[in-house]
């Protein structure tokens, strides 16, 4: 191992104030390792040997990123199978030996190692092995390391394996599983002889007692040489951007310093290794040592990653420009998180309209417009995406020039690929051997038993499934058919009802019962074949048309999995090839956005030079239609406004979502759609309307939303928004005259205070200067308050307000929402960029 150069890259850890764990001498309790706690807490002193470091702050800083500060209460570095501490000369970290000391478990912060495991030492030979890998803990039966976790949150777990030859045999013949609660981290793991394997996992720990379980499958014991477990800074994984991070673990597969050299753990604040990007198909290395403005990206990758890039070779002849492709070995048919790091260091200014493309497995996936992230050089930004590997075992990532970009270029600085391990349903670990090898079971006999058990379980599952299917078929309402007699069509004839359909091959459940809900399941990127859409819309039948917008004609449709959809079709030939490509990139992002108050894009089809978008079907049409024709009570109107405000607020707030416009720019009553429970969802967001600075556009949305609010309270749709706003303004000057323009249908039920609050909200939204307008979060808050006032008034004056229907309808909605939330929690996913 290389010696550490602490002055250059070391990290300083300041222990918590006044915390010095004292050994507890209660012998009746579990024996745990108290000495190590003192050492773990005092890690800073060993790490940096820096005597002026005091124990009076609770921060971790790096020399490079002075602004970075985060607490690290959980910090375990364990030298397994030995009672001796080992100092890693590279990083200065001390891996604590497994010595037993008595300590009160309830007050301890530490770990317990498996008592029935044994330790093993490498037989001496001539090859130099780092001290950390000269000992291992062996597990002859299922065994656990237990950790007492002080602070819940995102942790990094590294398991070190080095299969050596010991007096107990050669560890490379071990075969075992490793799991943590809810996740199988390693299955049928078989470390190679004399090779260091470091398996790295990013996981959320929300329990005070965290366990890592080792389960030998084979007569040979499972083993482990060292453990690292520590809390990550808050900035590390922006929560909720893609998925619910609590329900998955990320297992590092590749980490490349693209266009640069190897970066070892010494130069990384989280002790990660970054490898060079071997053998990309084209491009050249580019280095720039200018300082990087890292901000929140400081811990995501070291500056060295941003200071080098692989850049597309330039050529005056555009037809000679070629993409750069990296081919990475992956597991077949698995899910991966791709993290691409970009930093504009290439010597040209960041130009507004210049962009380039990113392709996954040769499919255009994202358009990268550096200017949209930062309009200056040397500022990093990151693209995250979830992909499915196919059965080739190779995943291709390419970058290349975009046809309609004025400047042809493409670059990449860093690349990380992590396998996504999803939460398992509770059940036994696969093929786990529970007994000591000396017991009489032979290897094949164990396998036979396991297989018999599996067969029994599968048989039972199959039987239950058959019963469930028979039951479902018998009870299910009449199934819609693919003809004009489909029972939910045409919409004018039949609203409501209909069957629910779930978990289609297009991802999550989008049937009528789920259309009021956000999805907990993240859909795949969905291309739907043209033929299927032809069938779904009865060959684009004119009788199935439900509307027409800028994008084209909108049809009702029924996919062959029973899912009801709205199908938007452009005029064939309207879009150029490049428009289609650009649109596709954006669509791939929109496909991942799921929010309870945004209409989900389910899939698309771009065959035959046209683009067809497929959305979840909104049973009750647009808010605009309802303002004209139906009698929504005041509470329903408020709830619709609140739902729409939530959707818009989510778009605005999702500023972490790079790659799509998070301004709606098309806020109007006809873009607020209602599902069968009158839950409002914004539609028509995201598709390439990025003009002008973000904040200004956002405040335009707020203004337009103010107009929607006026329409809602007046019960009419503005032909001319300016005129309506002026009318509102003049009414509001005459205080107390607001009732004059309230929809006569709701006049008798509306509470004065609720109306006043609503009026104030409208006033704020319609302020002339964008700067003076509130953000959508504030608008939402005000509307919720108006709703509370109305509900409060109904409760206190039940007879003076005509509210019978109001309460009933509102309760029904609340119940529906509650039911949905229980089924689909957590509700908000932002799976864009």
**Nearest in space to 426 (alpha carbons), one of 251, 244, 245, 179:** 179
Residue 621 interacts with ligand ATP (CB under 6 A): yes or no: yes
- According to DSSP, residue 639 is labeled H
Contacts for 74 with CB less than 8 Å, ≥ 6 apart: 109, 147, 149, 150, 151, 155, 205, 229, 230, 231
Beta carbon nearer to ligand ATP, 666 or 820: 666
Residues 677-736 that bind ligand ATP (CB under 6 A): 683-684
Q: Is 626 in the site for ligand ATP (CB under 6 A)?
A: no
Which residue matches tokens 């929109």? 590
Our finding on whether 603 is near ligand ATP (CB under 6 A) is no
411 is a site residue for ligand ATP (CB under 6 A) = no
Q: Considering only residues 134, 588, 636, 671, which one is a binding residue for ligand ATP as defined by CB under 6 A?
A: 671
CA distance 786 to 773: 18
Residue 520 beta carbon to ligand ATP: minimum distance, rounded to whole angstroms: 20
Shortest Å, Cβ 760 to ligand ATP: 29
| Interface mask toward ligand ATP for 550-579; x: CB under 6 A | xx--x-----------x-x-----------
Binding span for ligand ATP by CB under 6 A among 87-95, 250-258, 616-624, 752-760? 616-624
Can you spell out the DSSP letters for 380-418? EEEEEEEEE--TTSEEEEEEEE-TT-SS---EE-EEEEE
DSSP character at residue 484: T
Helix 694-714 to helix 634-653 angle, to the nearest 10 degrees?
A: 170
676 binds ligand ATP (CB under 6 A): no
How far apart, in whole angstroms, are the C-alpha atoms of residue 82 and residue 122? Answer: 11
Instruction: For residue 337, give both structure tokens.
Output: 């998180």
Q: What burial class does residue 764 get, using C-beta atoms within 10 Å of its C-beta: 0-12 exposed, 13-18 middle, 19+ buried?
A: middle
Place of tokens 């990113």: 358
Q: Which of 670, 756, 788, 809 binds ligand ATP (CB under 6 A)?
A: 670
- Residue 460: count of CB within 10 angstroms of its CB: 10
What is the C-alpha separation between 201 and 631, in angstroms, rounded?
55
The least distance separating ligand ATP from the CB of residue 599, rounded to whole angstroms, comes to 5
Largest CA distance in the chain: 95
Minimum CB separation of residue 619 from ligand ATP in Å reads 8
Indicate whether 617 belongs to the interface with ligand ATP (CB under 6 A): yes
Residue 200 binding ligand ATP, by CB under 6 A: no
| Comparison of 596 and 666: residue with beta carbon closer to ligand ATP | 666
Contact flag: residue 175 with ligand ATP (CB under 6 A):
no
By beta-carbon proximity to ligand ATP, the closer residue of 88 and 619 is 619
Choice from 599, 657, 702, 717 touching ligand ATP (CB under 6 A) = 599
Q: Among residues 60 and 627, whose Cβ is nearest to ligand ATP?
A: 627
**Least separation in angstroms between CB 491 and ligand ATP:** 8
- Tokens 């890039």, residue located: 309
Stretch that binds ligand ATP, among 156-164, 334-342, 535-543, 545-553 (CB under 6 A): 545-553
608 is in an annotated binding site: no
Cα–Cα distance for residue pair 344/306, rounded to 1 Å: 8
Q: How far is the CB of 726 from ligand ATP (least distance, A)?
A: 24
The answer to the question of residue 490 lying near ligand ATP (CB under 6 A) is no
For residue 613, the minimal CB distance to ligand ATP (Å) is: 9
Q: Computed from CA positions of residues 89, 93, 155, 120, in that sequence, does the dihedral angle turn out positive or negative? A: positive
Number of residues in contact with ligand ATP under rule CB under 6 A: 21
Residue indicated by tokens 């040997």? 49
Shortest CB 686 distance to ligand ATP, Å: 12
3-class state of residue 40 by DSSP: helix
Which residue's C-beta sits nearest to ligand ATP? Answer: 549
The stretch near ligand ATP (CB under 6 A) out of 215-223, 355-363, 392-400, 665-673 is 665-673
**By the rule CB under 6 A, 82 interacts with ligand ATP:** no
Q: Judge whether 268 and 410 are in contact, CB under 8 Å.
A: no
Contacting residues for 218 by C-beta, under 8 A, at least 6 apart: 173, 174, 175, 176, 433, 443
Q: Which of 623, 614, 714 is nearest to 675 (CA)?
A: 623
Spacing of C-alpha 235 from chain mean position: 14
- Residue 474 or 550: which CB sits closer to ligand ATP? 550
| Crossing angle (nearest 10°) for helices 694-714 and 752-765 | 150
Distance CA 646, CA 780 (A): 7
Contact region with ligand ATP (CB under 6 A), list: 257-265, 477-485, 668-676, 819-827: 668-676
- CB 704, min distance to ligand ATP, A: 12
Shortest spacing between CB 647 and ligand ATP, in angstroms: 13
For ligand ATP, which is the closer residue by CB, 120 or 622? Answer: 622
Is residue 488 a contact residue for ligand ATP (CB under 6 A)? no
Q: How far is the CB of 474 from ligand ATP (least distance, A)?
A: 31
CA distances from 435 to 82, 178, 179, 429, 690 (A): 24, 16, 18, 14, 63
Shortest spacing between CB 488 and ligand ATP, in angstroms: 12
User: What radius of gyration, in Å, describes the C-alpha atoms of the chain?
Assistant: 30
Tell me: does residue 634 bind ligand ATP (CB under 6 A): no
Binding ligand ATP (rule: CB under 6 A), the pick from 242, 615, 650, 728 is 615
Q: Which CB atom, from 618 or from 776, has the smaller least distance to ligand ATP?
A: 618
Nearer to ligand ATP, 92 or 647 (CB): 647
Bridge partners for 747 per DSSP = none
- Span from 164-172, 250-258, 499-507, 669-677 in contact with ligand ATP (CB under 6 A): 669-677
N-term to C-term CA, the chain: 39
Nearer Cβ to ligand ATP (704/831) = 704
Q: How far apart are CB 675 and ligand ATP at their closest, in Å?
A: 9
Stretch that binds ligand ATP, among 184-192, 314-322, 533-541, 614-622 (CB under 6 A): 614-622
Q: Which of 33, 338, 410, 546 binds ligand ATP (CB under 6 A)?
A: 546
- Residue that is written with structure tokens 């890292």 in the block: 294
CA distance 642 to 781: 9
Sheet bearing 411-412, strands edge to edge:
284-287, 308-311, 411-412
Residues annotated as binding site for ATP?
568
Residues annotated as binding site?
568
Residues in the site for ligand ATP, rule: CB under 6 A? Answer: 546-551, 554, 566, 568, 599, 615, 617-618, 621-622, 666, 670-671, 673, 683-684
């Amino acid at each position: 191992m290389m010696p550490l150069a602490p002055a250059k890259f070391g990290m300083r850890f300041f222990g918590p104030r006044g915390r010095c764990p004292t050994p507890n001498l209660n012998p009746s309790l579990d024996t745990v390792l108290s000495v190590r706690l003192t050492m773990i807490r005092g890690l800073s002193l060993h790490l940096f040997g820096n005597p002026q470091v005091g124990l009076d702050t609770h921060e971790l800083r790096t020399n490079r990123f002075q602004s970075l500060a985060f607490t690290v209460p959980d910090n375990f570095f364990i030298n397994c199978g030995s009672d001796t501490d080992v100092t890693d000369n590279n990083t200065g970290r001390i891996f604590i030996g497994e010595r037993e000391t008595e300590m009160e478990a309830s007050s301890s912060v530490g770990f317990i190692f498996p008592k029935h495991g044994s330790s093993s030492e490498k037989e001496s030979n001539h090859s130099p092995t780092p001290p950390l890998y000269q000992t291992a803990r062996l597990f002859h039966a299922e065994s656990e390391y237990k950790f007492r976790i002080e602070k819940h949150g995102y942790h990094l777990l590294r398991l070190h394996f080095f299969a050596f030859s010991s007096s107990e045999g050669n560890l490379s013949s071990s075969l075992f599983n490793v799991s943590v609660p809810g996740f199988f981290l390693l299955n049928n793991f078989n470390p190679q002889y004399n090779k260091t394997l470091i398996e790295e996992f990013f996981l959320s720990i929300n329990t005070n007692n965290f366990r890592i379980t080792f389960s030998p499958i084979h007569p040979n014991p499972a083993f482990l040489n060292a453990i690292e477990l520590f809390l990550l800074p808050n900035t590390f994984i922006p929560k909720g951007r893609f998925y619910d991070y609590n329900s998955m673990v990320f297992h590092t597969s590749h980490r490349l310093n693209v266009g640069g050299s190897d970066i070892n753990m010494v130069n990384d604040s989280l002790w990660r290794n970054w490898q060079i990007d071997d053998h990309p198909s084209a491009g050249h290395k580019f280095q720039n040592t200018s300082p990087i403005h890292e901000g929140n990206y400081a811990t995501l990758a070291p500056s060295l990653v941003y200071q080098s890039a692989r850049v597309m070779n330039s050529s005056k002849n555009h037809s000679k420009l070629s993409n750069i492709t990296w081919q990475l070995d992956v597991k077949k048919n698995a899910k991966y998180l791709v993290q691409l790091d970009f930093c504009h260091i290439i010597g040209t200014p960041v130009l507004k309209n210049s962009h380039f493309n990113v392709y996954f497995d040769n499919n255009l996936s994202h358009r990268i417009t550096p200017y949209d992230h930062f309009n200056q050089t040397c500022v990093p930004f990151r693209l995250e995406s979830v992909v499915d590997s196919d059965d080739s075992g190779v995943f291709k990532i390419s970058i290349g020039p975009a046809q309609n970009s004025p400047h042809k270029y493409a670059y990449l600085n860093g690349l990380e690929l992590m396998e996504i391990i999803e939460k398992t349903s509770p059940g036994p670990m696969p093929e786990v051997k529970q007994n000591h090898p000396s017991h009489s079971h032979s290897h094949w006999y164990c396998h036979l038993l396991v297989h018999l058990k599996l067969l029994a379980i599968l048989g039972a599952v199959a039987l239950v499934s058959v019963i469930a299917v028979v039951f479902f078929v018998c009870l299910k309402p009449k199934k819609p058919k693919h003809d004009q007699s489909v029972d939910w069509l045409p919409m004018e004839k039949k609203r409501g009802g209909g069957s629910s359909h779930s978990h289609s091959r297009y991802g999550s459940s989008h049937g009528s019962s789920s259309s009021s809900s956000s999805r907990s399941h993240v859909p795949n990127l969905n291309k739907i074949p043209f033929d299927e859409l032809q069938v779904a819309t009865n060959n684009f039948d004119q009788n199935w048309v439900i509307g027409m917008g800028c994008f084209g004609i909108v049809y009702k449709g029924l996919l062959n999995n029973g899912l009801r959809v709205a199908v938007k079709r452009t005029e064939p030939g309207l879009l150029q090839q490049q428009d289609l490509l650009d649109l596709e990139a954006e669509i791939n992002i929109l496909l991942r956005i799921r929010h309870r108050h945004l209409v989900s894009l389910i899939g698309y089809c771009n065959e035959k030079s046209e683009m067809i978008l497929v959305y979840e079907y909104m049973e009750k049409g647009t808010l605009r239609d309802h303002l004209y024709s139906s009698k929504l009570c005041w509470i329903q109107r408020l709830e619709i406004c609140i739902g729409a405000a939530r959707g818009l607020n989510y778009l605005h707030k999702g500023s972490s979502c790079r790659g799509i416009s998070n301004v709606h720019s098309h806020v109007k009553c006809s873009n607020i759609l209602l599902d069968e429970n009158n839950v409002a969802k914004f539609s028509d967001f995201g598709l390439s309307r990025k003009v002008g600075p973000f904040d200004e556009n956002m405040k335009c949305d707020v203004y337009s939303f103010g107009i929607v609010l006026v329409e809602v309270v007046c019960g009419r749709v503005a032909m001319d928004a300016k005129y309506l706003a002026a009318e509102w303004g003049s009414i509001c000057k005459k205080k107390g005259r607001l009732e004059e323009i309230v929809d006569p249908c709701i006049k008798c039920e509306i509470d004065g205070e609720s109306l006043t609050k609503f009026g104030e909200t409208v006033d704020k939204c319609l302020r002339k200067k964008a700067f003076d307008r509130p953000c959508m979060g504030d608008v939402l808050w005000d509307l919720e308050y108006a709703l509370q006032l109305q509900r409060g008034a109904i409760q206190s004056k039940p007879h003076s307000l005509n509210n019978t229907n109001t309460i009933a309808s509102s309760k029904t909605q609340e119940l529906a929402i509650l039911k949905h939330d229980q089924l689909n929690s957590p509700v908000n996913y932002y799976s864009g960029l």
